Structure 1
Amino acid sequence: MNTFFTKLLNYYDLTVADYERLCAKVTSDDLPRAHDFFNFDKFIKRIEKAIDSDEKVVIYGDYDADGILATSILKYAFNKRGKDVFTMIPSRYKDGYGLNTAVVDKFSNRGINLIITVDNGINQYEAIDLANALGIDVLVSDHHELGEALPNAVAILHPELSNLPRINSCGAYMALVISYGILGYYDDYLISLAGIATLADMMPLVDRNRTVVKLAIEAMNDQQYFTLIKLNDSTFVDETSMSMKIAPKINALGRLSQNYEANVLVEYFTTTDIKRHYDISAYVEKVYRERKDMSRGETLSGEELAFPAIVLITDELEGVLGLIAQNYVLEHNKPAFVFTESSEDPALLKGSVRSRSGFNVVDAFSHLNHLIVTSGGHPEAGGLTIKKDDFKAFYHAVNEYAKHHPLVKVSDKYLEVTLAEITTENYALVKKLAPFGHKFRAPLLFVSPLTNINYAYSRDEKHVITTLSNGIKLIGFFLAEASKNPHNIAFTALFSESRFRGRQSIELRINEFITA
């Protein structure tokens, strides 16, 4: 047996049978039965009543990629049934997250009979109670954490309310399940949208989530859907381009839309008007470029970097604060709190936090609770609101806490290989396990010893760009200087695939050099 293959199996703790199962071709029949979700029949029965009675229906989504794609999936499915429905992607700045009473009042005034929530609704008790009082039925599809009680909706679809393995699936996946009930089959285009959302929302890439992403990649490459290829800037699609090219462009519009501009994306994914596809995609590209510029953040002074945490106020929009904070964490290896003045109340500051192992955001919020108005999140990311007058006290309190909770480097798991094992054949063995993503990462290679490598560099002498004897390219961005260290004993790297003008090439992307 190939020794690399044995190492690969050990890396993932797989048997040969496990490997073959993960590599096997999948079809839509491999997706869970829709009836495995509790309330599925009741949910679809209420939709059929709305179609048969020509009721006024609104699909209420969310402003992130998952919510936008979930809304698009349902709109598309209703269109295929010949039923016109309203859709609403709320404004992050005017409506906030989730169905609310003000929006329900507006729907009532417009004569809406049925609200279907996607990617929200499971904790919006007050809004749903108001809808009931106003004679509006509500169907909830969501994947966020269940509260102590369920809302008083006609029916609820949720990953945990099922007979399936207890893993989270995104809002668009739940919308895909509903589309099956509406259409009677899983549509390949809608599978593609759900696959993008699964990656965008960082769902664990196991079980049904892995299946839907695998199906999405196959469908997008086979069918060449114009709306998706246009956002991808390439006819070749894989999990990397879905999560790094397509999803960020969808997210950008939701993050920056101060009004309701993100709603054009639902039109983009559901219209058959090619001119609108061109117009909207050009607009999305423009907003995405603006978002990239904004998310870089300001260059920090030595004084700002002298403390254990980065805590600052910016003029940027709330929707890009998390991106700015994340960039600071990556660049400076410190927890980052980035605030901006609240658009609702100038006496308040709204902020985003990003961190890594060692500084638990939830624990920090608990410790700083006396200075926080509202907060929420998970160990490595969160959002909060504080009083502007408390900023100075908050700044000092965060840094005092961070002094005792520094970020720690988590030991990476490596697949130890020699240069001789960096071959196209071994790359193919790895590639068969794709798609890779959250909870199923591509193997991180530990390459040693580094003998007989004659490094070549980019024209500006900043990057390693070397072709190995077997034709595989060795790429190391901003690692030219590090490659010249005589004490290097290894480097860590990931297999990568590049396509240019229809030609495929295999690369090894160096992460870092390891010294003795």
Structure 2
Amino acid sequence: MRWTIKPKPESEKIEALKEALQVDDITATLLLQRGIQTFDEAKAFFRPSLNDLHNPYLMKDMDKAVARMEQALANDEKILVYGDYDVDGTTSVALMSSYLKTRSSWVATYIPDRYDEGYGVSFKGIDFASDNEFTLIIALDCGIKAIDKVNYAKEKGIDFIICDHHRPGDTIPDAIAVLDPKRNDCQYPYKELCGCGVGFKLVQALAEEMGHSILDLTGYLDLVATAIGADIVPITGENRILAYYGLKVINSTPRPGIQALINQVSKKNELTITDVVFMVAPRINAAGRMKHGNYAVTLLAEDDMDLANTYAEDINAYNEDRRETDRQITEEALMQIEENKEQDRNTTVVYHEHWHKGVIGIVASRLTETYYRPTLVFTKSGDKLAASARSVVGFDVYNALEACSKYIEQFGGHKYAAGLTLKEENYEAFKQAFEDEVTKTIDRSLLTPEIKIDAQINLNDITPKFYRILKQFAPFGPSNMTPVFITTNVADTGWGKCVGADESHLRVTLKQSDSQAFVGIGFGLGNKIDVISGQVPFDVVYSIDENEWQGKVSLQLKLRDLK
């Protein structure tokens, strides 16, 4: 692991913010690192307000989208709400359809089949709309590159409204409205909304036309917060506000579908965004991975608690299947890398025609954790090969794929995650081209995992008051990660040991000179037991959290690494 301590802000700025907020040096440093320099900015950060959400009409084409939807609602047109099969897509469809059904009886949903239709808008979906006399399709979390599909729909007399957040290509589809903050010609102030966030902005604009305020829409924010967490978008600006209030809904009055999933997985009193990402989101995803995304939409839109619990049990079973499948494929992929002696490459590219298409993205993430390099996992999909791509921090895999586009049939995605299809005969040529492109463009240091450290502190700095302030930095996520600290010259008090069924984890009790002792837990750090033995000093990198044991709550260190 590379340890990188973030640069300390200028001392004058630290002093000014300390004085303005009456906080300590460490808190001021953490805020400045997050771009917060004034009292008002700190107030907005610590007290997110729904009033700070942007006017939805600042988004390009919002007026056109609202006008066309109002027309459809007034004329009782049949509206098809269409979205991708992942968490962002299914939450978007549940949100939009739930809202529209409060205003119309002519609303239906459509999720493409991952295996039959693939990602995004499909010709089959448009044929379904035509056969069933839908005249308006609202595409959520997809559509920004569906130029041919939108033209095909137009020939059949079907209009499109697109709500997407992926990077557009050179041409924007000829839809009635294309809402995407990443459009070059869109002046919307916040560019990092997820697909469900863009859909929510459209609902916000529609509600305003009815004289409703943002307070009337808070019941939808459990869906938006779930999508924000699952889609790994920055927890800044509007996303932070939406996630903050969405978590409040999740922890107080979640919709039956979300509550049913929580009943399956958690006994905690209060869920964080991390809990949503690791406990709720994978189960929503499992429907589209193992069966069909419709199951997730049905659950998330259900009003009856008993039915929701039944659906959640089914989805939990799909998730168990997903876990076993992903474990098996990961083992096979690791074996393939070793047998082909490809450990020394700068990329991981593996393929097997029988691998389950629904889990190759998860497998790509696991392989990235193992070898820490840009990774692609391919499987057979019809007469083509389909892949999920994952990257390492700091390297844009989307750009690397773009450089290899002559071998690719179709691709899309983000800086760190993408999907693509290609012809089988192009696989070997693509594999070499991708390796060459990454080798040529990647900074070698990015191939070693990095721990970014916010500040160096002493153990005596860790107090209940300090932790109460830290908790207010939540919700955490990209661009606002949980603060990570380094403390030097600590020693184990002699109670350090390996724990867990396979003793792969480390439990220590740390002291620094005359400080109080803190328990530290290092998951996966059991191999570091020699570093702490003999009560010799060492340096440790960690975040701070709470541990509850027999009704007693205490602060503990969540160890990231030690040397």
Q: Which residue of 2 aligns with 1:325?
A: 364
Is residue 513 from structure 1 mapped to residue 562 from structure 2 by the alignment? yes
Distance in 2, Cα, partners of 1:53 & 1:138: 17
Q: Which residue of 1 aligns with 2:285?
A: 251
Aligned partner (choices 430, 433, 440) of residue 470 of structure 2: 430
Q: Which residue of 2 aligns with 1:303?
A: 339
- Deviations 1:395-428 (CA, angstroms, capped at 9, x unpaired): 5666666667655334624311112223322222
Structural mapping, 1:325-344, within 5 Å: 325-342=364-381, 344=382
Matched letter for residue 196 of structure 1: T
Distance 1:503 1:139, change over 3 A: farther
Secondary structure at the aligned position of 1:448 is classed as: strand
Q: CA deviation at 1:278?
A: 1.2
Q: CA deviation at 1:158?
A: 2.5
Distance in 1, Cα, partners of 2:246 & 2:481: 18
| 8 Å contact kept, 1:325–1:338 | yes
Q: CA deviation at 1:357?
A: 5.3
Distance in 2, Cα, partners of 1:270 & 1:501: 38
- Deviations 1:460-488 (CA, angstroms, capped at 9, x unpaired): 54422346686854111232341432676
Distance 1:253 1:498, change over 3 A: farther
Secondary structure at the aligned position of 1:485 is classed as: helix
Distance in 2, Cα, partners of 1:245 & 1:112: 36
Q: Which residue of 2 aligns with 1:490?
A: 539
Distance in 2, Cα, partners of 1:120 & 1:242: 23
Mark the runs of 5 or more structure 1 residues left unpaired by the alignment.
none
- Deviations 1:431-467 (CA, angstroms, capped at 9, x unpaired): 1111111122121111222136444333654422346
Distance 1:451 1:400, change over 3 A: same
| 8 Å contact kept, 2:48–2:240 | no
Is residue 21 from structure 1 mapped to residue 20 from structure 2 by the alignment? no
Aligned partner (choices 175, 183, 189) of residue 153 of structure 1: 175
Structural mapping, 1:58-457, within 5 Å: 58-160=80-182, 163-183=187-207, 184-186=212-214, 187-232=217-262, 233-234=265-266, 235-257=269-291, 261-296=292-327, 297-298=330-331, 300-301=334-335, 302-304=338-340, 306-308=343-345, 309-314=347-352, 315-342=354-381, 344-345=382-383, 348-356=384-392, 361-362=397-398, 364-365=400-401, 372-389=408-425, 391=427, 407-409=446-448, 410=450, 412-451=452-491, 453-457=493-497
Matched letter for residue 310 of structure 1: T
Q: CA deviation at 1:504?
A: 5.3
Distance 1:82 1:103, change over 3 A: closer
Matched letter for residue 496 of structure 1: D
Distance in 1, Cα, partners of 2:225 & 2:213: 16
Matched letter for residue 447 of structure 2: V
Distance 1:502 1:43, change over 3 A: farther
Q: Which residue of 1 aligns with 2:52?
A: 30
Aligned sequence identity (%):
26
Secondary structure at the aligned position of 1:164 is classed as: coil
Q: CA deviation at 1:376?
A: 4.5
Mark the runs of 5 or more structure 2 residues left unpaired by the alignment.
1-22
Distance in 2, Cα, partners of 1:2 & 1:135: 63
Distance in 2, Cα, partners of 1:500 & 1:42: 56
Matched letter for residue 489 of structure 2: P
Matched letter for residue 371 of structure 2: H
- Deviations 1:39-85 (CA, angstroms, capped at 9, x unpaired): 33432232222223222111111111111111111111122225341
Q: Which residue of 1 aligns with 2:24?
A: 2
| 8 Å contact kept, 2:386–2:420 | yes
Secondary structure at the aligned position of 2:153 is classed as: helix
Distance 1:128 1:351, change over 3 A: closer
Distance in 2, Cα, partners of 1:418 & 1:120: 48
| 8 Å contact kept, 1:76–1:270 | yes
Distance in 1, Cα, partners of 2:160 & 2:428: 44
Q: Which residue of 1 aligns with 2:11?
A: none
Secondary structure at the aligned position of 2:174 is classed as: coil
Matched letter for residue 455 of structure 2: L
Distance 1:154 1:367, change over 3 A: closer
Distance in 2, Cα, partners of 1:273 & 1:481: 49
Distance in 2, Cα, partners of 1:369 & 1:433: 41
Matched letter for residue 76 of structure 1: S
Distance 1:227 1:106, change over 3 A: closer
RMSD: 3.0
Distance in 2, Cα, partners of 1:110 & 1:30: 41
Distance in 1, Cα, partners of 2:436 & 2:172: 40
Give the TM-score normalised by structure 2: 0.81
Give the TM-score normalised by structure 1: 0.88
Matched letter for residue 167 of structure 1: K
- Deviations 1:132-189 (CA, angstroms, capped at 9, x unpaired): 2222222222222233343232233232565432422111112212222444333222
Q: Which residue of 1 aligns with 2:19?
A: none
Secondary structure at the aligned position of 1:204 is classed as: coil
Distance 1:360 1:105, change over 3 A: closer
Matched letter for residue 311 of structure 1: V
Aligned partner (choices 464, 469, 472) of residue 506 of structure 2: 464
| 8 Å contact kept, 1:43–1:139 | yes
Distance 1:334 1:176, change over 3 A: closer
| 8 Å contact kept, 2:60–2:188 | no
Distance in 2, Cα, partners of 1:135 & 1:255: 32
Number of matched pairs: 508
Distance in 1, Cα, partners of 2:426 & 2:147: 32
